[in-house]
């Protein structure tokens, strides 16, 4: 390690060390670059997309991929490439917000369960019940209760994956809570609030971050699944799942509508899985050499 | 062991009751007036009120919930489908064989592929075979199952015309694509778990001992490594079977299989809420039972677990028990 990094190392050891190890993982770095590019595409969609995603051109429908339309055009002559780019806005947003809901709700419940043994049993038994229903079914039940739409989709996907975050957070806090540096912090007079916020939570957060990275991929996939079944985001909004659901109707005549939105989902989930695996390896102290 | 089993079975009751309450509450807050939907165009405020009373929908939440639970527990009655006017339980049971067939085919395929490639991958760690297998497994995990289904239809039904794109009764070939669609992601998950679990075991001292006493390599892999790596693998197969039953929802819709999943989605679209509730609760119940079976299975596979339930320290009388002590000292 170069000397100039030493001060930072001391202050933020775990994360700086993890970042150093992550940087050595070539696949994870490629995945990170792919993800950053995709996020940029989503943010600057109006600049990246060659056409308006709603612009219909009935003279040019079902055009196969060519220079003017890299992914072809759909049944209404809309440019599929532009629709996939705009779709990334919705799909990535749904994935990120759904996981944030799951992390905040699940993480809080898990942390409470770990800190207050009296509530532990109640919260974790409730999670057991929640987990008895497979998460896709839970998401389906929640969307049928709340109705379709982007916001409800985020809530459904987020809540249905929440128990796993609660479990991870609880286990993680329980491990950290009993370690010596926590005892040291309290013994030099740190308030319990300070101990929790400054010492326990940052150290318990690593497993949650790994799970969340992998979770965004799963959330994008669940959201696409629900939309594909007609329970999430409805056409003509260009969410990837609903693009596929429309494409499916034309599967016998025109393949590009089925191929490209699915490729986009796969690329993003694949990248997130590799990054998540890389993060886990980077943050797992047992692998430290 | 028996005591543990009883406790475990009894614990299923509150879990299932809780799951029923959650699903019931969710459906209760679902938008739309059921009676108005049922009556369609002929709905007037009077007929709606009359039908509400007939279906008991005018009662308070707790009364409705209590009645639902009572019927379910006493008569295994999940209510009546609004759409077909037949008992929901009948609707589900007539479709159960298709869903079970699909899930079982998929889990068998996934287990076979996942375990075999996982073992090969671990044994040949960092070799070509491992790199390829882990890469393919990760693609399998990252691919949306419904998209895979569509791709298969594109290739083998539309393009090559080898397989029918929907499941036809009596045609075994028509089950090939649904099985692959449902099994691929799970195969990837099982493969990854098998690999990492095997890698945990592979460097243990007792493996080296077995090898150095001249044991045949295949026996070392199967008896000493694989058997000790089994617990996490079994767990993941059990857990995945649950998500498979849920994944069947998609698969059944793509390949037009008349199973519980198709019933569920059709019912949601038609606002047939008793059917929605029934299907979700039924699948949740199956998953809970499978989890229980997996837990019981552990003790048969791993004598160490059984002995802890017996409360008696079982003395080392076979190969595996010797490994116990070495297990603790696994830091490299």
Interface residue of B12, B21, B103, B146 to substitute, partner A, most A CBs within 10 Å = B146
CATH class of the domain whose range is A2-282: mainly alpha
Judge whether A145 is closer than 8 Å to chain B, CB to CB.
Answer: yes
Q: Identify the pLDDT of residue B325.
A: 41
**Every domain of chain B and the residues it spans:** 34-77, 92-311
> Closest Cα of chain B to A269: distance in Å?
5
How far apart CA A164 and CA A162 sit, in angstroms, is 6
Between CA B88 and CA B277 the distance in angstroms is 9
Residue A4 confidence (pLDDT): 47
Contact criterion met (CB < 8 Å) for B243 and A255: no
* Joined tokens for residue A141: 């039940």
SS3 B171: coil
Smallest Cβ distance to B142: which of A128, A229, A273? A273
User: Taking the model in full, what pTM does it have?
Assistant: 0.83
pLDDT value at residue B211? 82
Residue of A nearest to B245 (CA): A134
- A262/B147 touch (CB, cutoff 8 Å), yes or no: yes
Longest Cα–Cα distance in chain A: 77
Residue A73 dihedral angles phi and psi, to the nearest 5°: -125, 155
- pLDDT of B330 reads 39
Q: What is the pLDDT of residues A227-284, one digit of tens each?
A: 888 888 887 788 888 888 888 888 888 888 888 888 999 999 999 998 988 888 888 7
Residues 174-233 of A with CB under 8 A from B: 217, 221, 224-225, 228-231
Inter-chain residue contact A258 with B154, CB threshold 8 Å:
yes
Distance between CA atoms of residues B216 and B301, nearest Å: 22
Q: DSSP labels for A10-35?
A: HHTHHHHHHHHHHHH-HHHHHHHHHH
Provide the residue count of chain A: 289
Using CA atoms, how far apart are residues A88 and A264, in angstroms rounded to an integer? Answer: 8
The tokens of B331 are what?
Answer: 């830091």
List the domain boundaries for chain A: 2-282
Q: What is the predicted pLDDT for the residue at A3?
A: 46
Look at residues B324, B274, B300 and name the one whose alpha carbon lies nearest to residue B56.
B274
Per CB-CB distance under 8 Å, the chain B contacts of A137 are: 246, 249, 264, 280, 283-284
Contact A145 B27 (CB under 8 A): yes
Please give the interface size between A and B, counted as residue pairs whose CB atoms are below 8 Å apart.
Answer: 128
Torsion of the alpha carbons at B137, A130, A93 and A263, rounded to the nearest 10: 30
Confidence of residue A20 (pLDDT cuts 50, 70, 90): confident
A129 contacts chain B (CB < 8 A) = yes
Whether complex ipTM tops 0.85: no
CA-based nearest distance A227→chain B, Å:
11
Domain B92-311 has CATH 3.40.50.2300: no
Portion 179-238 of B in contact with A at CB < 8 A: none
Chain B residues closer than 8 Å to A259 by CB: 151, 154
Looking up tokens 């017996």 gives: B310
- Strand (E) positions, chain B? none
pLDDT at B106: 92
Give the model's pLDDT for residue A105: 93
Contact B283 A134 (CB under 8 A): yes
């Amino acid at each position: 390690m170069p000397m100039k990094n030493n001060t930072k190392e001391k202050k933020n050891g775990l994360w700086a060390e993890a970042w150093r190890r992550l940087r050595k993982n070539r696949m994870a770095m490629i995945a990170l670059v792919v993800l950053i590019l995709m996020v940029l595409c989503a943010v600057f969609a109006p600049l990246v997309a060659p056409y308006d995603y709603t612009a219909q051109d009935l003279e040019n429908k079902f055009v196969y991929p060519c220079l003017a339309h890299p992914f072809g055009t759909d049944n209404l002559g809309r440019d599929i490439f532009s629709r996939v780019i705009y779709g990334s806005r919705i799909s990535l947003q749904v994935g990120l917000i759904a996981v944030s809901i799951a992390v905040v709700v699940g993480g809080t419940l898990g942390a409470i369960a770990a800190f207050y043994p009296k509530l532990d049993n109640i919260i974790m038994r409730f999670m057991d019940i929640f987990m008895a229903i497979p998460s896709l079914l839970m998401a389906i039940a929640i969307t049928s209760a709340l109705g379709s739409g982007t916001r409800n989709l985020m809530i459904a996907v987020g809540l249905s994956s929440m128990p796993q975050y609660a479990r991870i957070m609880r286990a993680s806090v329980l491990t950290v809570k009993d370690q010596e540096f926590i005892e040291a912090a309290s013994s030099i007079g740190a308030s319990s609030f300070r101990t929790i916020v400054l010492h326990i939570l940052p150290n318990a957060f690593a497993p949650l971050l790994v799970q969340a990275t992998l979770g965004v991929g799963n959330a994008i996939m669940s959201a696409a699944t629900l939309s594909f079944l007609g329970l999430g985001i409805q056409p003509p909004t260009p969410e990837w799942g609903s693009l596929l659901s429309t494409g499916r109707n034309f599967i016998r005549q025109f393949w590009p509508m089925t191929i490209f939105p699915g490729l986009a989902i796969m690329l993003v989930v694949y990248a997130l899985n590799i990054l998540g695996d890389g993060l886990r390896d980077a943050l797992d102290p047992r692998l430290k050499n | 062991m028996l005591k543990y089993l009883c406790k475990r079975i009894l614990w299923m009751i509150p879990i299932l009751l809780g799951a029923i309450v959650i699903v019931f509450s969710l459906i209760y807050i679902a938008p739309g007036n059921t009676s108005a939907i049922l009556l369609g165009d002929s709905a007037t405020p009077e007929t709606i009120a009359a039908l509400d009373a007939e279906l008991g929908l005018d009662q308070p939440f707790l009364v409705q919930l209590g009645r639902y639970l009572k019927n379910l527990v006493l008569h295994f009655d999940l209510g009546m489908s609004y759409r077909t006017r037949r008992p929901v339980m009948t609707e589900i049971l007539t479709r159960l064989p298709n869903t079970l067939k699909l899930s079982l085919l998929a889990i068998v395929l996934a287990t076979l592929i996942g375990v075999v490639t996982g073992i090969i991958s671990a044994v040949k760690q960092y070799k070509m075979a491992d790199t390829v297998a882990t890469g393919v497994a990760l693609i399998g995990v990252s691919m949306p199952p419904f998209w895979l289904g569509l791709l298969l239809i594109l290739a083998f039904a539309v393009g090559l015309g080898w397989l029918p794109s929907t499941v036809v009764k009596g045609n075994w070939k028509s089950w090939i694509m649904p099985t692959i669609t449902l099994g691929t992601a799970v195969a990837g998950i099982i493969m990854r778990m098998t690999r990492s679990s095997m890698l945990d075991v592979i460097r243990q001292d007792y493996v080296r001992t077995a090898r150095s006493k001249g044991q045949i390599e295949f026996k070392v892999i199967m008896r000493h490594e694989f058997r000790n790596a089994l617990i996490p693998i079994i767990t993941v197969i059990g857990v995945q079977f649950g998500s498979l039953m849920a994944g069947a929802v998609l698969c059944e819709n793509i390949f037009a299989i008349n199973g519980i999943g198709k019933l569920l989605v059709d019912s949601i679209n038609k606002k047939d809420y008793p059917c929605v509730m029934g299907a979700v609760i039924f699948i949740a119940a199956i998953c809970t039972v499978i989890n229980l079976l997996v837990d019981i299975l552990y003790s048969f596979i791993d004598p160490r677990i059984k002995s802890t339930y017996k409360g008696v320290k079982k003395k080392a009388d076979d190969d595996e028990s010797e490994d116990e002590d070495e297990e603790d000292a696994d830091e490299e």
